Structure formats: C-alpha cells, structure tokens
Structure 1
Amino acid sequence: MMKNRIWIPVIAAVALAVTAGPAVAKVSDAEAAKLGKELTCVGAEAAGNKDGTIPAFSGKWLGTPPGVKYTPHVGQHPVDPYPEDKPLFEITAANMSKYADNLSDGQKAMFKKYPETFRIPVYQSRRDFRYPDAICELARKNALSAELIDDGLGYTGHKGPVGFPIPKSPMEVLANMNFPYRAFTEHVVRDIADVGSDGSITWGRQLNKNLNVVTQTSELGKPMEGLMAYSLSGTLLPERDRGSFTASQEPVNFARAKRLAWTYDPGTRRVRQLPTYGFDTPMGGTSGKMTIDQDRLMNGDPSRYEWKLLGKKELYIPANAYRLHSNKVKYADLLQKGHENPAYLRYELRRVWVLEGSLKEGYRHLFGKRVLFIDEDNWQASMGDYYDQRGKLWQHGFINHFYAFDLNAWQAGTAFFHDLDSGGYVAFNLIQEREKSWVLNGGDLSPDMYTPAALRALGQ
C-alpha cells in the first residue's frame, strides 16, 4: 500500500522495511552527542525541512508561555498560545491529489467517502515547546545504555523519558511510543459519542484515573522494571452500564508479566478478575465500536503482531490542538454527520515515524493490520489506519495532542475513530462541555486505589 510513496532519509539510517528482530547494540558516544544539537533531546531532527514547510525546532518554551494565563493541576481547559494563527490552506477532495504524498491512506479514504464536507485545515507548523532538562539528560543516558530484551517486549534503561531516542529497530520505536514522557497522574470525566451514519448520537461517559509509574517524580532514573501504570475506569453512561468499574495494572515487560484487571459488576455487586483484558476487548462507553488497545491508537501487549518500521515521512497530522479543547466548543457544533467539524481542527506538516503491525499467523484480533504514525517531536502516535482480516482498510483514527503546561510534555486529547464501512464514528475523550478538563500531575493518586478491595468500596 505504500510502494508509491516518497520516503525521507532517516538520520539513524533505518532501512525502509526493518522487521522486528533480536536486541540491537546501544548507540555510540558520537551518535548520542547529536542529542540536543542535530537532534532534539528525544531524537527528533532539529532542523526544518528543505522546503521550509517544517520549521527548525526552537524549544523556546518550557511550561506555560509568557502572556498565557493558566492555573496548572486543577483541570483548566487548555489555553491556545497561538490564538491569532489562521489556516494557510485547506486540503479538500478537489485538491487532494496535490498533497497525496503527505496523506495517509486513511485520510485519502475519508476524502473519498465524504468529498463534499471532509477537509484538512493546514496551519503553520510550530515546534516551540521543550522537555525539562532532567528528562533530556535521562534520554541521553538511555541512548547510551538501553537495550531491548525478551524479543522486544521489554528493555533495560532508565524510567522517565523514551528508551531509544536514536532508534534502530521497529520494537525500539514501539517502545518509545508506549513510554513517552507524559503525566504521572491523570484523572478526568470524559464524554464519548457514538455517532451513527445518520448523525444520531449514543452517549457514553467514563470516569478515568491513571497513575503512570514510570514518570512519577520519585521513579525518574530508576531501572526500567516492575509496573508501568495503574488505570481505573468507571462507566457513568449509558445508564444500563452505570456503576461498573474496571481497575488494571500494566507491566513494563509483557514477557515477564501480564496486564492484570478486575471488574466490579453493579448487578451482582461482585468483583471478579478478568482472564484477558486488552487487545480487541470492547472499550467501555463506546457501544463496542472501539477496542481497549485503540486507546492512544495502540497500547498493551504487542506480541500478536509482527512489526515493521517503514522509516519516516512528512505527513499532515493533528498538532497543537488547543482550539478543539476549549470549553467554548459545543458538542452540537463539533459532532456532525459523517465526521467531526473540521473548523475546530488544526493540522500541521510534521515528520512521523511509520510503524506497521501485521497480525501473526495463529493469533486472533479484529485488525489484521494496523499502521501507526508517530510524531517525532513527542513520540506519541497521532494517527492510525486499521485493516480487517482481508487486508481492506476499515478504520481511520487520530488523536489531537497539545503541549500541556501542567506537565511540560504532550497530552493526548480528543480522538476520533472512523468506520469507513458504516460511515459512523466514535468521538473519544470529549471534555469540551465538562466542568473540568484533564487534571494532570495533581499527585493525588496512589496504588491502593487500583485493587479489588478498592473496587468493592466504589460499588458501595
């Protein structure tokens, strides 16, 4: 599907099709010395592109920019540091062929399905935010010391930043995507809209509390072992599922431990352990339209797929998505028939790593193949194209990220998952009409909140 695309040379000299294999040697001192110079401290190319359509990394801001009024750690809705920016141009079905080399197959499919209404507003690319110095120093240490272990299901190194800022293999890129520097505590009440092909909406609502162990202040720099994260989700809507809760514990290495999860059923008022949690288990509150492992586009145990690294590419992806997350945005205006209202979206031309996962023979999953597009500046997946068992493009999903001033790093915001067959879509992580946005790095979550006993207490 990608044979006619034009690929950009990758600084790390990654081949255009590198399959997952054994552990790769650590980078040399000379390569690591590029971090913070030719490369940003987490491995993105610091220079702009030759056309000037991607700017050089400035990193001029750490945390809240000058002139922006923002109170961190309380759930204030994001504030746009670029309020005067206007779209440079729009990509439409009529001019799509002009920009085809910078679009994913899923985006092209959206233009074909909704030729009259779907469009991509393209803004000036901005690369103005940076990570804390301590995170940059740990990323440099990881570049010199981290190695994949257990067939890529785990790695050595230090907790905090990505393990492989100068990656050489698909599993290193996947590890970076799964372990970017992000919030160590996050809680939110989020709305979920299942938008039918006729524009009708079935609503879901979840309480979500995440404790990310590997980026906790007390854990930074410690060996990459033990648990990755704790998660708690409770269903508030639809009413038939109201009161159900699930708690899970995620390991850093799926070869040595598995994801543990327990659920509280309000009907029986009992807690039971789930034998399997993740993969293509339906996501609560989405009417079964999303899978557990589609949160952040891909999460959890990657072992059911054979991973291939397809290099880097310049793509138009959602970025600096502040306007979308304003509390002035109304769901009635945002959620249209067919797709979300493009007027609230911001796309930029950015360099992405392209990672392809093909389902291994003998394994089961709804998706026979998934292609992930990972922003080089923050190592988070921004877009995903999902294929069925026959190899047909089935779904196109994307996440609208923004740099969160609370944590000096990027936050995954509202996401949209489009079913290209039915014409419906799921709008996930909606907070626009909630009283609070994400409460980030409040430091108010602890491991004892994610146990069977804690679930029982919630059900009382």
Structure 2
Amino acid sequence: MAANAMAAVSPEEAQRLGGDLTLTGAEKAGNAAGTIPAWTGGLSVNAGKVDAAGFLEDPFASESSLFTITAKNLEQYKAHLSEGQLAMFKRYPDTYRMPVYTSHRSAALPDNIYTAIKTSALNTGLIENGSGLTNFADSRYYAFPIPKTGLEVVWNHITRYHGRTLRRNIVQVTPQASGDYTLIRFEDKVASPDGLKDLKQDRAANALIFYTQQVTAPARLAGNVMLVHESIDQVTQPRMAWLYNSGQRRVRRAPQVSYDGPGTAADGLATVDNFDMYNGAPDRYDWKLVGKRELYIPYNNYRIDSPSLKYSDIVKPGHINQDLARYELHRVWEVEAILKPGERHIYAKRRFFIDEDSWQIAVSEQYDTRGQLWRVGQAMLLQHYAAQVPLYAFETLNDLVSGRYLAIGMKNEEKHGIEFGIDISASEFTPAALRNAGIR
C-alpha cells in the first residue's frame, strides 16, 4: 500500500499539468537550441481535409526536408539517434536514410481526456510488481502523467487514448529478402470500456481494453478471429484471449496470445507483445528509467499514409521506402527493460523511446539472450486531428539478423481509413461472438 501511495502525485505537483507541463505531462517549453518548439495546443480538429474514406490531408505537405541522414553523414547526427537506428544504417548502408523535417508538436486530445489525465495523476498507483493499476477505473487514461519510474512511463503507453472505439481495415507484410511479399488483411476493432454503453459494471470494473482481430485474406487464413480482454489489475485477472479457427470451427482459449507468443501470421518475425510497439503485462521485466533525450523519430507521417500510394511504393527489400518517411526532432523518454531472473522471454533486454507529447513508443530495440541487438521497431506517428487521437500510420519491426521485417497497419489501398467513435456492442467482444464473426 505504501508503494501505491507513492505512485500518485500531490495536488501541488498535479498543478503542473497545464502549467510548465502540458496537459499530458510533457515539457511545455521548447528546447534551448530552438529545434524543438513549445507545445501550443497541437493540431486543431480542422487542420486539414478528411476525404470520404476517412484519409487525412497532410497539413505539412508544402514543407521540404531540412536534411537527410545517410550512412555517409551519420557521424554528425549520432547524438540524436538510438543504437537501433544506427544499426539500421550499418545493416543497409546504401539504402537506409532518414529525411528530417521541421518539428511540429501536433499531439492533441479531447478536453475530457485531459480532465481524466489529472484524475490519474492524483489517484493511480501500481500493484504487485507493477503488473496492475489501482484507483484507475474512474480515469482510464494515461496512468502516470508525471512519471517517476520507467514502469510508469510504459504504463502511459499502454493506457493511452485510442479514441474509445475504432475499426481498421489494414494489411500486414513480411517481405522476403528479395522484397517479395504476400498481403495479410485484417479487420480489427478496439474499444475502451467507456466506449461501450451496454457494458455491464461487473465487466467494466477491471477492464482496460477490448480487442478483436479478424483475418480477411488470404483465403487460407480468412475467417480466423482473435479476441483479447485486457485488464487493469493483471494479478487478480490476467489477460484473457480466445481464438476461433475457421477450419476447425472451434473457439479455444489462447494463453499463447501474450508475451513472446508468435504474432499472427508474422512468419516468426514478431512476438505478440511486439504489436502496438509493446503491449500486455510488464511483470517479466525490471524497468529502468534512463531519462529524457532528444531523438529523431518518425512524426507527422501523413505522406506515407496517403491513399495515393500503393503498397508496392512502400514495401521494399530490407526495409520500407524511407524516402516516403518523415522524421522530426522530439523529446522522448528512454526506458530499458531487463528480463527478471527466473522469467522467460526471447528478448532478454528491450529499450523503448516514448514520445513525450503522445506517450506513444516511437522506436523500440529488442536484444537476444546473448545481449546482441536483434530487432528494431518504429511507429510512423501522426495525429488524427479530426478525431483528436495521436496514433500512427503503421509500425515496422526489422530483424537485423535475417534481413527481413514485418510491417503492420498500412491501409493505403483499402476502402476506408481508420473509423473512430464507431457504435459497437459489448456483446461483440465475447467468445460467443467469435463463431459468427469468423464465418467465411
């Protein structure tokens, strides 16, 4: 209980939110060099046009890159690059590049979420080695806006705002070293308890997120559905997951949908907890807050999310087409995770770089049991300004050993962009609903 009390901040410290800190807990001021601006509210809801399919206009389309980092000029920019980013230049010296643009602090949230964040700051605590939260059900978002530990920073990523309910039709690719790939198509739905009006109180009390993922193509996988119930207190009630196999027409509990279980159709290139850059219970690691630093991270990636692009424009051998990416200098929280003695996971060490404004992991690094850097992830961050949701165009995970990678979340050639605020019933997130959802 003492640990719980220490996790929440005092009313005096909470007053910093909206003062010298932004309403989400970032430093409001810009940096001394003037290369990171002050936060002035983020992008407005009408920052650009949204087409009939839900795709966003690029508010920064008229900007040109300030410079491009390549293997040849890498030395002069190393101070603002992570070990994983440097490793990508070493692995792909002729093709990997990072176009850097003017920094814009575009993250913005609805007013009621800002109110919830302050409630979190005053009340939320950690339980049982950090594998759950206390006093969080009333706020539900951004558990620790003024964090003191690495674990609290990671919980901010896990509990960030997704728009209450959303639906995506997206693709995943795992290209061969030659660049050849097969599209895996998903429809996934995400709902926070406060987005489900018919959710009974007994289910809502310990619920953090509800998630379904249905495979729609190719035909050999179509109809398979996954359901996940993520909990606030994962000691009292760990994550529950179910799989519907369309070939067997059976719903089964799926304890492997957690930690380092294999990612869906990922060809061995990602674990379950690689999805969304990191997800699930953090109890298998000891978390260290390294500190803050300024890093070039993917930001405001509207161009690479454009419906004018084909997947073949983006997916290239070894890594995505970096000429379409946009990087900006931002302050990030650096957190390191070391596997606890006696615990098992294929990643013995992980490092995350989390955007201070949105609390999203922008860059990740995964190390094997020998201590060697194995996989490097990046999320192509952007602000869904019309819905006031910071999210990303898609995410990638590069395997430095095999020379292959996974990219998930692209929707350029799909009929719709992300749909926020959709009307979903709580009954859609039950095992009984999987069989109907999975009928081909």
TM over 0.5: yes
Does residue 186 of structure 2 align to residue 206 of structure 1? Answer: yes
CA contact (8 A) 1:62 1:129 kept: no
Does residue 154 of structure 2 align to residue 174 of structure 1? Answer: yes
**Cα distance, 1:147 vs structure 2:** 2.0
Does residue 337 of structure 2 align to residue 357 of structure 1? Answer: yes
Deviates more, 1:45-54 or 1:249-258: 249-258
CA contact (8 A) 1:93 1:111 kept: yes
Deviations 1:294-324 (A, max 9, x none): 1111101111111111111110001111111
Query: What is the alpha-carbon distance in structure 2 between the residues aligned to residue 282 and residue 435 of structure 1?
Result: 29
Query: What is the alpha-carbon distance in structure 1 between the residues aligned to residue 31 and residue 96 of structure 2?
Result: 27
**Cα distance, 1:146 vs structure 2:** 2.2
Does residue 142 of structure 2 align to residue 162 of structure 1? Answer: yes
CA contact (8 A) 1:205 1:285 kept: no
Query: What is the alpha-carbon distance in structure 1 between the residues aligned to residue 416 and residue 395 of structure 2?
Result: 18
**Cα distance, 1:288 vs structure 2:** 2.8
CA contact (8 A) 2:35 2:329 kept: yes
Between Structure 1 and Structure 2, how many residues are aligned? 432
Does residue 352 of structure 2 align to residue 387 of structure 1? Answer: no
Does residue 40 of structure 2 align to residue 58 of structure 1? Answer: yes
Distance 1:129 1:374, change over 3 A: closer
Aligned to 2:393: 413
**Cα distance, 1:22 vs structure 2:** 3.9
SS at 1:398 equivalent: strand
Deviations 1:153-201 (A, max 9, x none): 2222432431211111122112111101222111122111111112121
**Cα distance, 1:151 vs structure 2:** 2.5
CA contact (8 A) 2:287 2:335 kept: yes
Aligned to 2:436: 457
Aligned to 1:15: none
Query: What is the alpha-carbon distance in structure 2 between the residues aligned to residue 139 and residue 270 of structure 1?
Result: 41
CA contact (8 A) 2:224 2:245 kept: yes
Does residue 313 of structure 2 align to residue 295 of structure 1? Answer: no
> Structure 1: which 4+ aligned runs deviate by more than 4 Å?
214-219
Give matches, 1:194-233, under 5 Å. 194-213=174-193, 225-233=205-213
Deviations 1:234-260 (A, max 9, x none): 122343222211112111121111111
Deviations 1:207-243 (A, max 9, x none): 2111122566999xxxx94111111111223432222
Query: What is the alpha-carbon distance in structure 2 between the residues aligned to residue 218 and residue 167 of structure 1?
Result: 33
Query: What is the alpha-carbon distance in structure 1 between the residues aligned to residue 409 and residue 299 of structure 2?
Result: 16
Report the aligned-residue RMSD.
Answer: 2.1
Query: What is the alpha-carbon distance in structure 2 between the residues aligned to residue 183 and residue 75 of structure 1?
Result: 18
Distance 1:217 1:165, change over 3 A: farther
Does residue 222 of structure 2 align to residue 260 of structure 1? Answer: no
Q: Which one of 104, 108, 112 corresponds to residue 86 of structure 2?
A: 108
Deviates more, 1:133-142 or 1:245-254: 133-142
Distance 1:307 1:263, change over 3 A: same
SS at 2:77 equivalent: helix
Structure 2: segments with no counterpart, 5+ residues = none
CA contact (8 A) 2:108 2:390 kept: no
Q: Which one of 329, 335, 339 corresponds to residue 309 of structure 2?
A: 329
Aligned to 1:98: 76
Distance 1:327 1:388, change over 3 A: same
Query: What is the alpha-carbon distance in structure 2 between the residues aligned to residue 217 and residue 323 of structure 1?
Result: 36
CA contact (8 A) 1:181 1:215 kept: no
SS at 1:314 equivalent: strand
SS at 2:78 equivalent: helix
Aligned to 2:321: 341
Query: What is the alpha-carbon distance in structure 1 between the residues aligned to residue 277 and residue 107 of structure 2?
Result: 23
Deviations 1:97-156 (A, max 9, x none): 111111111100010111111111101000144322222222223222222223222222
Query: What is the alpha-carbon distance in structure 2 between the residues aligned to residue 279 and residue 382 of structure 1?
Result: 20
Query: What is the alpha-carbon distance in structure 1 between the residues aligned to residue 260 and residue 7 of structure 2?
Result: 33
Give matches, 1:30-109, under 5 Å. 30-59=12-41, 61-65=43-47, 68-70=48-50, 75-109=53-87
Structure 1: segments with no counterpart, 5+ residues = 1-20
Query: What is the alpha-carbon distance in structure 2 between the residues aligned to residue 218 and residue 36 of structure 1?
Result: 34
CA contact (8 A) 1:367 1:388 kept: yes
AA aligned opposite 1:58? T
Query: What is the alpha-carbon distance in structure 2 between the residues aligned to residue 216 and residue 176 of structure 1?
Result: 22
Distance 1:451 1:145, change over 3 A: closer
Give matches, 1:134-145, under 5 Å. 134-145=112-123
Query: What is the alpha-carbon distance in structure 2 between the residues aligned to residue 145 and residue 161 of structure 1?
Result: 12
**Cα distance, 1:334 vs structure 2:** 1.2
SS at 1:196 equivalent: coil
SS at 2:263 equivalent: coil
Query: What is the alpha-carbon distance in structure 2 between the residues aligned to residue 387 and residue 432 of structure 1?
Result: 32
**Cα distance, 1:335 vs structure 2:** 1.2
CA contact (8 A) 2:293 2:332 kept: yes
